[in-house]
Amino acid sequence: MTTPDTSDLMTRPPPGAAADLYVGEVMHRRSRPKAYEFVYRVFNIVLDIDRLAEPPARCRLFSHNRFNLFSFHDRDHGPRDGSALRPWIEEQLAAAGLSPAAAQVRLLCMPRVLGYGFDPLSIWYCHDAAGDLRAILYQVKNTFGDQHGYLLPVGDDSAGPSDHEFDKIFHVSPLIAMDARYRIRTTSPDESLAVLIRESDDDGEFLVATLTGERRVMTDGALIRQFLRVPFMTLKVIVAIHWQAIRLMLRGVKYTNRPQPPAEGVSTPPHPARKDAA
């Protein structure tokens, strides 16, 4: 594991900031058919979707819907047509009977770096008017340009970790078959970020992935430090995905042809939140 970067811990971001920076790692560990593990440094941002046009204080290197060293573009998320994200997420929540969860929505994602973006997983944390987490949308992308979202309610204990279990219906990796099931544990990011994903099939669990991070003040200095720490991060993500896939295929892991993505852009799995998922 790498040594945590503490250079931006002198000043904590205020609660409810328009944009927060999270610095950490992503880890993948497969147990079969070939044991394999990798860890990469990454950084993510968490944005209040109602304050996208509000620039973070002391931050000129991050922009909304325009080119910069780091940027967030509406067309990378939600319906991916460049339209406003608020009406789209309200529509998804209403269709699932979760309209109260639309009071405040925070989006965890990777920013574009020098105009290039690829984000395998973005997470929408949806809160009610009292500030309680009531729904989570896991929006997954693959390298073929497809996207699908899994929208799930959060149980009454919204202050603790949210555990969800549901069937996989969206093709992510050609080295993992579709007949699989996810268990995901996460909490709405605060001082830290933690996402745990377990994937299993009829023979049991075969993949564990984690995303972790610590919150930083989002300033020009902090962004430059992350650019130097992980240069061209989003390009590295797409390159790393293909590189790891090649290494696994060379070790004999079977390639699975890509099926058609689900007709609906967002599904609401019928399985309720669980408290024994991890």
252 pLDDT more than 90: no
pLDDT reported for residue 16: 61
Q: How many Cα atoms sit within 13 Å of 99 on the Cβ side?
A: 4
Band of the pLDDT at 50, cuts 50, 70, 90? very high
218 pLDDT more than 50: yes
Share of the chain above pLDDT 90, in %: 71
List pLDDT tens digits, range 54-91: 877 778 999 999 999 999 999 999 999 999 999 999 99
pLDDT reported for residue 166: 95
pLDDT reported for residue 61: 95
pLDDT reported for residue 130: 92
Share of the chain above pLDDT 70, in %: 90
Gap between the Cα atoms of 116 and 267, Å rounded: 28
Mean pLDDT of 121-135: 95
* Domain segments of the chain as ranges: 19-267
Mean pLDDT of 236-247: 88
| Contact status, residue 186 vs residue 196, Cβ threshold 8 Å | yes
pLDDT reported for residue 177: 86
- Averaged pLDDT of the chain: 88
Gap between the Cα atoms of 250 and 246, Å rounded: 6
pLDDT reported for residue 158: 57
pLDDT reported for residue 273: 41
Long-range contacts of 80-88 (CB under 8 A, 24+ apart): 80/147, 85/49, 85/52, 86/49, 86/50
